[in-house]
Chains A and B, each alone.
Chain A
């Protein structure tokens, strides 16, 4: 039975029970390989399927999920969702909304055929580990891997949604342990693409080697306030960690600090920030959101002015606006909102503006899962990177903390670079931002 016929069956039962419903189907197949001491250490091959049902019955919402698709499991999931709905508050704004059809299907090259033999992948994994381990000052490579992931996301509803996106991603990463006497350092490097051929073994080895070994001998800078540039990965992680600042759901819940700032200048006027789900260079491409609503480019901030929050149909209805195509929900979660591919557009400032005088470039922030507070905008994290003066590296830096308030920092900007760069995971693409005078704790 196809997933579509499973969905049709389930949704018909929901209608028979007097409910509207939608169903998310998450399916994945993956292969991952890890090496140690010049041989394959782990070989994982997996497949998984999860169905997530959301019902709306008498204006009350209930959700349930199942990893089994037999009739008993489907019936049980529906019964559970209906039971859960009975406990919920009546929430008229959350309905199973009719959605527009996609103008065209997601591009097929998101999920390319790849005939790469398993031997080739194994050889890649072994070479990645053994060539790195053989380099000077590398003690070992305890964390490394190569993966091939195919996943699909389908949304069906009693209001006519029937959409599917299938995609393939190839990853490789290595985190070598560099050592020089008692001094040790570790830093990861990764690559991501749609085709196995996108992975560049030599470049990955060089990057992982450089990132780890250049931290040997590094030390803290003096405690004080420094201008800070975050590298592409860290800047993307920082924006991701505080992505609730765009959330229409948090605004509805009364905890988004920007909830009353629409139309106002909230950030430096050199900042224009856009969500671009349909850019196919990114690996977070999305043709539709978790309600099946077609995605679109959404301008969040225009020259420092907050132009919109992101909405699903429920938060949109609450605020009297349309969905922006940002419904977020996995098979196992309830309806929320989420960004797709965040872009910070090029600003007016040159490389010379970015690299004038003294500043830190932070290439790793530790503790972004715990050292941040999206409610207040504050963060304080362990960090490493390098100190620069007029574009020249003065010293490598580790053993420091960097603290600030992102919501305020976006108003305390020294420069916004005139070019953009993807992060390694190709989830976001941003111009570099030089922030003024962040608190750095060090020596």
Chain B
């Protein structure tokens, strides 16, 4: 890693070039990946990543560089090269480091650096695959994957911050392929969290596989989805991707500061149906999107984004806070040392309501029940988003009729937030990876089952 004395000299050098703020982000990450195919081990991989990111801020301009070499001289050379066009008399002096190591509330029992537990992971994946295969003779193939990683970070900055943390991530996914000789369809189920491999003790591998197999079979027999604007009931858990795409990205100061968010000037205003309250919470124990500190060293927090339909907070990192005037929320995140931090989501979800699932279905003459969602994306400046339905059903005359396939949902954030008319009480969370300006990071999405009165369903019927 890098000693505090070397870090001190690099930060002093950055400030001597005239920077207002200097920061070093040092990362060492272990990874272990186990993949299975049917009843065999497909591959076992591991790796070590190491690098240092240097950020210098001149006003609101960011200079960023990274290197794999833990050398003070190399970092100073990089700083001088980056600042060559911005060099000026020093504006500030560094504050002495105050070392901190945050307490963690997350489980850290079976961690990667102690034992990668490869035998146990193989057993788990093969057990899940076997259960998936056993769901139906039409299941023609199964895949399993487990990724565990251990990310050690150290952050130094010119304001005296010296903080270290270690994050333990684990995630498993099972995919089943069903085939009837003419067509193929797939289903999948995953689990993950900010904890060690003890996660496996909380989950039944067979249930994971059975769920993947069940979904593949539903999709194999599904009919083409009808098209058009109609009401949609969105299932809980990963259904929360709707809020993530339709609203969450638009509340990040990364887009707010540039006025590239449709919500940039709507703080305090009603932006959603009053049944909608939403939170971005980095403090949930063992949750996939949780952190102890963000990637700028600030303790994480629970941030109420929307309360009863009213916009109450943005997600702000250091620079976003400086540019917008909104307080930092511990949301500065990055994939690795290769990225400068930006404001990003953590565990983001719509809070539970009081409506009943049965009433939602019964209220629809013609619509879709999207029980499981896939991923999506958004254009922040216009709020236009899309996301895929991984498992869906056609609703007619207040009853679920038959499974449908090949559906996508599109709308705009401001519109869909107002169209959420019913919110149930079955809140659940699901793991996802979110890609944006500072790379791909673990985020949790979540929601209770909810009803959107009107959204464009793209099908292939």
- Complex: A428 Cα to B365 Cα, angstroms: 46
Binary contact track A20-41/B, C-beta < 8 Å → 1, others 0: 0000000000000000100111
Query: What CA separation (Å) do A73 and B374 show in the bound complex?
Result: 39
Name the interface residues of B381-408: CB closer than 8 Å to any CB of A: 381-382, 384-388, 405-408
Task: Please tell me if the beta carbons of A373 and B186 are within 8 angstroms of each other in the complex.
Answer: yes
> Is the interface on chain A under 10, 10 to 19, 20 to 34, or 35 or more residues?
35 or more
* Contact across chains for A67 and B50 when beta carbons are under 8 A apart: yes
Chain B residues near A255 (CB-CB < 8 A): 140-141, 177, 184
Q: Decide if A424 is an interface residue (CB 8 Å cutoff).
A: no
Question: Is there an interface contact between A67 and B48, defined as CB atoms closer than 8 Å?
Answer: yes
Residues of B contacting A442 in the complex (Cβ-Cβ under 8 angstroms): 456
Residue of A nearest to B461 (CB): A439
**Cβ-based interface call for B338 (8 A):** yes
**Interface residues of A, dominant DSSP:** strand
With A44-B340, A255-B177, A441-B458 already in contact, the answer to whether A367 and B68 are too (CB < 8 A) is no
Q: Would you call B408 and A403 a contact (CB within 8 A)?
A: yes
Are B338 and A48 closer than 8 Å at their CB atoms? yes
Query: Does B234 lie at the interface of the complex (its beta carbon under 8 Å from any beta carbon of A)?
Result: no
Would A87 and B119 count as touching, CB distance under 8 A? yes
The reply to whether A378 and B405 contact each other, CB–CB distance below 8 Å, is yes
Give the A-B pair count, Cβ closer than 8 A. 241
Q: Are A76 and B48 in contact (CB under 8 A)?
A: yes
Contact of B255 among A45, A65, A142 (CB under 8 A): A142
Range of interface residues on B (Cβ < 8 Å): 35 or more
Known: A177-B260, A255-B141, A375-B186. A441 touches B459 (CB 8 A): yes
C-alpha gap A383/B58 in the complex (Å): 40
Is A39 a contact partner of B61 (Cβ separation < 8 A)? yes
Shortest A86–chain B CB gap in Å is: 8
With A67-B50, A122-B85, A177-B381 in contact, do A88 and B68 touch (Cβ < 8 Å)?
A: no
Chain B neighbourhood of A66, CB < 8 A: 47-48
**Chain A residue at minimum C-beta to C-beta distance from B178:** A375
Which residue of A61, A367, A372, A376 contacts B43 across the interface (Cβ within 8 Å)? A61
* CB of A87 to closest CB in B, whole Å: 5
**Residues of A with C-beta under 8 A to B385:** 366, 382
Tell me if B266 is interfacial: C-beta within 8 Å of chain A: no
Measured between alpha carbons, how far is A402 from B459 in the docked complex, in Å? Answer: 8
Given contacts A48-B67, A370-B386, A442-B456, 19 further A-B contacts (CB under 8 A): A42-B63, A45-B82, A64-B45, A88-B44, A89-B40, A122-B85, A142-B259, A177-B259, A332-B47, A334-B43, A366-B410, A367-B377, A375-B184, A376-B184, A376-B185, A378-B405, A382-B386, A401-B459, A441-B456
Interface positions of A (Cβ within 8 A of B): 36, 39-49, 52, 61-68, 73, 76-77, 80-81, 83-85, 87-89, 118-119, 122, 139-140, 142-143, 177, 184-186, 220, 223, 253-255, 257, 332-334, 366-367, 369-373, 375-376, 378-382, 398-405, 439-443
- Interchain residue pairs with CB less than 8 A apart (14): A43-B63, A62-B45, A63-B46, A84-B44, A142-B380, A253-B37, A370-B374, A375-B186, A376-B183, A378-B406, A380-B459, A382-B458, A398-B384, A439-B459
Closest 4 interchain pairs by CB?
A401-B458, A370-B375, A441-B227, A142-B260
